[in-house]
Structure formats: structure tokens, C-alpha cells
């Protein structure tokens, strides 16, 4: 519905009034939750068919990242198994009795870091036939403080080129996830979730300093969009964005693009790598978020009189899970 000329003039007059501007400056300053500097590490691993070996390698690399000063560590998507829908049923674990969860909890405690445990194929506790692609998060005591089930499933069928239908095997998650850490709030998504800007928009407006995406783009979509999507989410929301990929294994059935990357709130790539196994480090500074938001004041100038605020449709519960208002 269009505003009448009188209503529009009243709104514009209100926008130029000093009390309204002061109110919006306050709102802008309060959008970012209390946050402090931290060192982020993205661990780019090459997986195998041997789950125990995958877990052991991940543990070693988490400890290496912590030794090098990382406070927050991220593992790749499906780090404990080969990547592919045909592998998910065999490697899926219930979180209540999961060797992967046990390892992740123990190493987070041993390293004294926040660990975003990539993702693992999860089997539902009550329905053995229901599987999810699930990220688990641990605090420095080893406590699991969040889970995120991949919201958007990658279903693509291009005749003669590629067919990859995750929904034939996986169920989709139904909530957004924002993790409270002592360094600030951090939002998460998994792989295909990054193509949907609403997740990052909601996270930014709910106070998150960064979005983290474990993901495994392929050799077609990786060169086209991997870095572009991260930079787009960062620029649109004036926040840090990082994506952690598996390393590339040309002997595997799925060839990951690699190139784990960290982008700052200005949209600049501040850390990246090639396709090989490595650890990518970056310093995350909330002052950079505040500086760019002050320099380009998007949060003062949005026009919610003519379009909706997507963040207002989401309620975040005490566990950091965002669900749509009823």
C-alpha cells in the first residue's frame, strides 16, 4: 500500500527532526551486541572414508590453531565423513551418543576455545530415518551451547550437467542460530544457507558481529560465487563474514573448491588460502564494524515505512535460536 502525500511528508519531517535522529543514532549504536576483539581460525581439512582418522586430524588441527592464539575455531562442513548425500546415512550420528560430539567437546575444553564444529550428518533422536546436516558449537569448558541444522537444502538438477538433491536424504532445519560468546554474538549458516541473505540480515540486526559458514562449494559454483557471496553478505550487513571449506581431494567423488576466507565489514578479503589443507587466521575487531556503520550509516537510513524489516519477523529464544513470529 502506497503512503499518501500527507503521510509521506509527515514521515520525512519526522526523519529530519533532531529527536528522531538522536533516537536512530541510539538504535544504530545498540544494534551490535557488546563485543571484543578475538582471533578466528578456519581449519581447511581433507576428509576421508575413515571417520576415526577424520576426527583425529580435526582434533590435532584445532589444538594447533589454539596454540597459535585462536580464540574461535571453525571446522568445515561434513568434516567427519566424505561429502555426498550417499554417505550421510552411513556416517550419521545421534548427538546424544556421537563420537564426533565427544571429540569436539573434549578438544574445545582442552584448547580452551569456542569451537564451531563444522557440520556432521545428524540422525534424529526419535526417528532413525530423519537426517540433518548439523553444526554444533562448544564453549571453552566443552559444553555444547548451540546447534544449527542446515536451513536451505541444496537441490539442483540441470539435465546433462549436475544433479544433487539433498532433500532426498536430508531434512531441513527450521530455525536461525545466533551464538552468545564472551567475544560477542556470532551467527551461523551452512553452505547453501549463504545464498539466502535473510540469515545474515537477521543476524546483523540481532547484534551479531560475524556470520560463520562451514561450506563445501564445488568446482563450478566455487570460482563463480564463493568469495562473491561472502563479500556481498559482509557489505550488505556491515559485519564480518567467514566461510570454512574442506580441502580439495581430486580422488574423492566430490571436489570441493577450498579457499576458506574471511571478509571484513567493508567487504575486503582479509584472509584466504588455496585448495590445500591449511589453517586461515584473522583478527576480528568490533570497532571495524562500528566504524563502517558510522561512515556509511545504513542502519540510520533504512526505509521501513516502504518495506518490511525482516528481523522483526524473528524472535530469538534463550538458546539463541530464531523462529518466525506466529
Residues with a catalytic annotation lie at 77, 150, 191
Q: Which cell goes with 224?
A: 563463480
How many C-beta atoms surround the C-beta of residue 192 within 10 A? 22
The angle formed by the CA atoms of residues 218, 200 and 102, to the nearest 5 degrees, is 70
Cβ density class 204-242: b for 16+ within 10 Å, e for less: bbbbbbbbbbbbbbbeebbeeebbebbbbbbbebbbbbb
Cα–Cα distances (Å) from 33 to 11, 106, 169, 221, in that order, read 29, 29, 37, 33
CB 206 within 8 A of CB 185: yes
Residue 245 CA to residue 40 CA, distance in Å, equals 15
Dihedral sign, Cα of residue 106, residue 108, residue 109, residue 110: positive
Nearest to 262 by CA among 216, 231, 297, 295: 231
Q: Which cell goes with 123?
A: 540422525
Cα–Cα distances (Å) from 251 to 27, 114, 215, 299, in that order, read 52, 32, 19, 47
Residue 131 CA to residue 89 CA, distance in Å, equals 7
Amino acid at each position: 500500500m502506497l503512503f499518501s502525500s500527507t503521510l509521506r511528508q509527515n514521515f520525512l519531517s519526522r526523519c529530519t527532526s533532531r529527536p528522531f535522529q538522536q533516537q536512530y543514532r541510539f538504535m544504530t549504536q545498540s544494534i551490535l551486541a557488546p563485543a571484543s576483539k578475538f582471533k578466528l581460525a578456519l581449519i581447511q581439512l581433507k576428509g576421508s572414508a575413515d571417520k576415526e582418522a577424520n576426527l583425529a586430524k580435526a582434533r590435532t588441527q584445532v589444538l594447533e590453531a589454539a596454540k597459535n592464539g585462536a580464540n574461535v575455531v571453525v571446522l568445515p562442513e561434513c568434516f567427519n565423513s566424505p561429502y555426498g548425500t550417499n554417505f550421510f546415512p552411513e556416517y550419521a550420528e545421534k548427538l546424544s551418543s556421537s563420537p564426533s560430539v565427544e571429540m569436539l567437546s573434549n578438544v574445545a575444553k582442552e584448547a580452551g576455545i569456542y569451537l564451531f564444529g563444522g557440520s556432521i550428518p545428524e540422525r534424529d533422536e526419535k526417528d532413525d530415518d530423519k537426517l540433518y546436516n548439523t553444526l554444533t558449537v562448544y564453549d571453552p569448558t566443552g559444553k555444547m551451547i548451540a546447534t544449527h541444522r542446515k536451513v536451505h537444502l541444496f537441490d539442483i538438477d540441470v539435465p546433462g550437467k549436475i544433479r544433487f538433491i539433498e532433500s532426498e536424504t536430508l531434512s531441513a532445519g527450521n530455525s536461525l542460530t545466533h551464538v552468545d560468546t564472551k567475544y560477542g554474538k556470532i551467527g551461523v549458516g551452512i553452505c547453501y544457507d549463504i545464498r539466502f541473505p535473510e540469515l545474515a540480515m537477521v543476524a546483523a540486526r540481532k547484534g551479531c558481529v560475524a556470520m560463520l559458514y562451514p561450506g563445501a562449494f564445488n568446482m563450478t559454483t566455487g570460482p563463480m560465487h564463493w568469495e562473491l557471496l561472502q563479500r556481498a553478505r559482509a557489505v550488505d550487513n556491515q559485519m564480518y563474514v567467514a566461510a570454512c571449506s574442506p580441502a580439495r581431494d581430486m580422488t574423492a567423488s566430490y571436489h570441493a573448491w577450498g579457499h576458506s576466507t574471511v571478509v571484513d565489514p567493508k567487504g575486503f578479503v582479509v584472509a584466504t588460502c588455496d585448495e590445500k589443507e591449511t589453517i586461515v587466521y584473522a583478527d576480528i575487531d568490533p570497532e571495524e564494524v562500528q566504524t563502517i556503520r558510522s561512515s556509511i550509516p545504513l542502519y540510520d537510513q533504512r526505509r521501513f515505512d516502504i518495506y518490511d524489516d525482516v528481523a522483526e519477523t524473528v524472535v530469538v529464544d534463550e538458546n539463541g535460536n530464531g523462529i518466525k513470529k506466529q
